[in-house]
Structure 1
Amino acid sequence: MEFCPNCGKMLMPKKGMIKCGCGYEKSLTDDDIEKQYHMEGETKPQSKVIVTDNKNVALPTTRITCYKCGGTKGYWWTVQTRSADEAPTNFIRCAKCGNTWRSSN
């Protein structure tokens, strides 16, 4: 890795040259590029993707009574729907029919 001797900016090679905005230029050989700019390291391990459906929801649950179907299990989450100085809005979704509403706290 090289830095501009005039202004100190980090220089990256492009088409066998390093150029700086201040006017500094230098030619590089393929060997220079391989030694100074070829980077090896650990690759990020592949992440496993979890596929879910309506029966496998990754939200906290609570006991509710759905006004549409009478279901007793609900999923809940909180969203800041207004300005930061106001209380967040809590939502509940019936696990049985999917009906969603705002909770009244």
Structure 2
Amino acid sequence: MVQYYWYPGGYPQPQPQPQQQQQMTPPNIQPTTPAAARQEESYIENILRMNKGKLGTFYFTFENNKEWNAKVIKGYIEAAGRDHVILSDPSGKRYLMLMIYLDYVTFDEEINYNL
């Protein structure tokens, strides 16, 4: 911290402060708890990953697009990332869809969801 004092000319001058040696302290790292792991698993991409291979109906909307403002895809989950999901419909056609457009997903069977 620098403190200022006034000398006769009227301009502030920094007053030197004795330097204190700072010790590095290790960060407080908390071990991963089951509760923390559960909270992380609740993200949509993790839920989709836990249900890889299942057939679901995915509802997407695209704002300000008059020609193609909604899309429904019934397909199998092949992969899911933080910002995308890869689906394949029963005919084998594959879709790479962005999560920002995903509204919701329905499944005709029980889904895997670990709490």
Scaled by the length of structure 2, the TM-score of the pair is 0.26
Higher relative contact order (CA 8 A, sep 6+): 2
Higher strand fraction (1 or 2): 2
